[in-house]
Chains A and B, each alone.
Chain A
Amino acid sequence: MGLVSVQTLKEIVGAENAKDDKADLYVYGSDSSVHQAMPWVVVRPHTIEEVQNIMRYANPRLIPVIARGAGSGMSGQAVPIKGGIIMDLKKMNKILEINLEDTFVRVEPGVVDDDLNRALKPHNVFYPPAPASSRIATIGGEIANNASGVRSVKYGAVRDSVLGMKVVMANGDLIHLGAKTRVEATGYQIDRLMVGSEGTLGIIVEATLKFVPIPKYRCLGIAKFNKLGDAGNAISEIMSSGIILSMLELMDNIAIKAVNQALDLGLPDVEAILMFEADGMAKEGVDVEVKRMMEICKKHKGFGLELSYDAKERTRIFSGRKKLFPSLSRYKEGYVCTSLADDMAVPYSKMAEMAKMIHEIAKRNNVIMTAYGHCGSGCMHTKILMDPTKEAQWEDAKRAVFEIYNFVRSVGGTTSAEHGIGISKAPAFKREKHESLELMRALKKALDPNNILNPGKLMDAPDDWVTATKLRYTVKLEGK
Chain B
Amino acid sequence: MKVKYIKDWENELNICIRCAYCFEGCPVFKELGWEIDGARGKLIVVYGLLTGELEPSEYIAEKLFQCTFCRDCVERCSADISVPDIMGAIRADLFDAGYSYDSHKELTKKIENSGNIFGNELKVPVFEGDKAVLLGCRLVERKEDSEKYLTILEKLGVKTKTFNESCCGMPFAVLGDKKGFKTQQDKFIETLPDKNEEFICACTTCVFFIRAKYPDLKAKYIIDEIVERLPDYKGKLKKLNIKVTYHDPCNVARGMDMVDEPRMLLKEIGAELIEMPTNGKQAECCGGGGGLLVSDDKLAEKLAEKRVEQAIKTGAEILTTLCPTCEFNLKNAVEKLGGKIEVKNLLDLLYESMM
Contact = CB atoms under 8 A, between A and B. Distances in A.
Interface of A: 19, 21-24, 26-28, 30-32, 42, 44, 70-72, 88, 90-91, 114, 133, 135-136, 262, 325-326, 329-330, 334, 336-337, 339, 388-389, 472-474
B278 to A, nearest CB: 12
B80 A330 contact: yes
B14 A388 contact: yes
Nearest to A86: B35
- Interface SS majority for chain B: helix
A72 B48 CA distance: 19
A345 B45 CA distance: 35
Interface of B: 11, 14-15, 17-21, 23-24, 33-36, 40-41, 44-45, 47-48, 51, 53-54, 57, 59-60, 63, 76-80
Nearest to B43: A27
Contacts of A330: 15, 79-80
Contact of B15 (A24, A91, A133, A336): A336
A443 B303 CA distance: 48
A24 B80 contact: no
B20 A70 contact: yes
B17 A325 contact: yes
Contacts of B60: 23
Given A21-B57, A31-B18, A262-B80, 10 more contacts: A21-B59, A26-B45, A27-B41, A32-B17, A32-B20, A88-B34, A91-B33, A114-B24, A133-B20, A136-B23
Contacts of A72: 19-20
> What 9 A-B pairs are tightest by C-beta distance, nearest first?
A329-B79, A27-B41, A325-B78, A32-B18, A27-B44, A326-B80, A70-B20, A72-B20, A135-B24
B14 to A, nearest CB: 5
B35 A71 contact: yes
Contacts of A71: 18, 20, 35
B242 to A, nearest CB: 29
9 contacts: A27-B35, A27-B40, A136-B23, A329-B15, A329-B78, A334-B11, A388-B14, A389-B14, A472-B18
Contact of A136 (B21, B34, B36): B21
Contacts of A24: 34-36
A388 B12 CA distance: 12
> Which one of A28, A329, A388, A473 has the highest number of Cβ atoms from chain B below 10 Å of its Cβ?
A329
A296 B76 CA distance: 36
A170 B33 CA distance: 26
Contacts of B24: 114, 135-136
Contacts of A88: 34-35
Contacts of B18: 30-32, 71, 472
